[in-house]
């Protein structure tokens, strides 16, 4: 499909690498004007250089931290008055820290990026989408949003919260023509830092991680995210779509 997003504007966070970059690449290829947002200026520049000439759309880079309100404001302002799609992909992990080893800095940072950032972005784009009576928001949650054995306490709480935000948004704005859905990846080949920082946690959850499927590629996730962002999924709202190789079914 080469033209699902022609004439549409999308914001993709975490778009400098991994899943976000694959989503931005696909949206541009299918005709969208995409705001490529990432905390790293170097990754933004590389992504825009790679994505800029791949299709009918265009890529515009914005460097910003989604946990900071001022940066969220700049990201949204770069999109202009029309915002058709928001893909909140940016996320960080927590070293698998269990509650008794969890420090305030890790908790605040993980919740800020993984949950507060998507909330602020959602809050900012909703007036544009409500005015147009149309829009699609896709939040990248996680397998850790469905169970307690896939990560540490902060990451798990943030992704459970993100699914709750997704469902709440879907309910409140369905009558305004705005849809909101979540994708829950399992293991994916990206550069997110998943280094464990707790021997205790690894001992407890090791048996739960034995059934891990082979890791997916960012393009695998981009296909699901862009489907939810498109009119092909116009009857899907408030859904939590697992893209985890069947891990959650085991």
Alpha carbons within 13 angstroms on the beta-carbon side of residue 38 total 24
Residue 176, number of CB atoms within 10 A of its CB: 15
Q: Which one, of 119, 234, 240, 124, lies nearest residue 169 by Cα? A: 119
CA 93 to chain centroid, in Å, comes to 13
User: How many angstroms separate the CA atoms of 168 and 178, rounded?
Assistant: 12
CA 128 to chain centroid, in Å, comes to 20
Q: Which one, of 173, 62, 163, 190, lies nearest residue 125 by Cα? A: 173
The set of residues, in sequence order, having a beta carbon less than 8 Å from that of 54 and lying 6+ positions away, is 25, 28, 29
Tell me the Ramachandran region of residue 208: left when phi exceeds 0, alpha when psi lies from -120 to 50, beta otherwise: alpha
Told to judge if 155 belongs to the known catalytic residues of this protein, a careful annotator would answer yes
Q: Which one, of 84, 41, 49, lies nearest residue 65 by Cα? A: 41
Residue 225, number of CB atoms within 10 A of its CB: 30
Catalytic residue among 155, 201, 228, 242: 155
Annotated catalytic residues are 155
């Amino acid at each position: 499909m080469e033209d699902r997003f022609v004439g549409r504007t999308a914001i993709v966070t975490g778009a400098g690498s991994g899943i976000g970059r694959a989503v931005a690449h696909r949206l541009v290829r299918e005709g969208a004007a995409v705001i490529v947002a990432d905390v790293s200026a170097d990754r933004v520049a590389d992504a825009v250089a790679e994505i800029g000439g791949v299709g009918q759309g265009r890529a515009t880079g914005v460097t910003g931290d989604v946990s900071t309100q001022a940066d969220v404001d700049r990201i949204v302002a770069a999109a202009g008055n029309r915002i058709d799609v928001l893909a909140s992909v940016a996320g960080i992990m927590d070293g698998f820290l269990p509650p008794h080893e969890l420090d305030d800095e890790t908790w605040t940072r993980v919740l800020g990026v993984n949950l507060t950032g998507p909330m602020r972005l959602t809050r900012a784009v909703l007036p544009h989408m409500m005015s147009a009576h149309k829009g699609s928001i896709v939040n990248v949650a996680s397998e850790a949003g469905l169970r307690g054995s896939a990560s540490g306490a902060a990451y798990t709480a943030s992704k459970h919260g993100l699914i709750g935000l997704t469902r709440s948004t879907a309910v409140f704005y369905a009558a305004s023509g705005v849809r909101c859905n979540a994708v829950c990846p399992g293991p994916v080949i990206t550069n997110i830092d998943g280094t464990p920082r707790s021997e205790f946690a690894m001992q407890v959850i090791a048996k739960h991680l034995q059934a891990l499927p082979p890791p997916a590629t960012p393009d695998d996730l981009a296909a699901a995210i862009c489907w939810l962002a498109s009119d092909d999924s116009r009857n899907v709202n408030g859904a939590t779509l697992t893209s985890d190789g069947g891990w959650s079914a085991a």
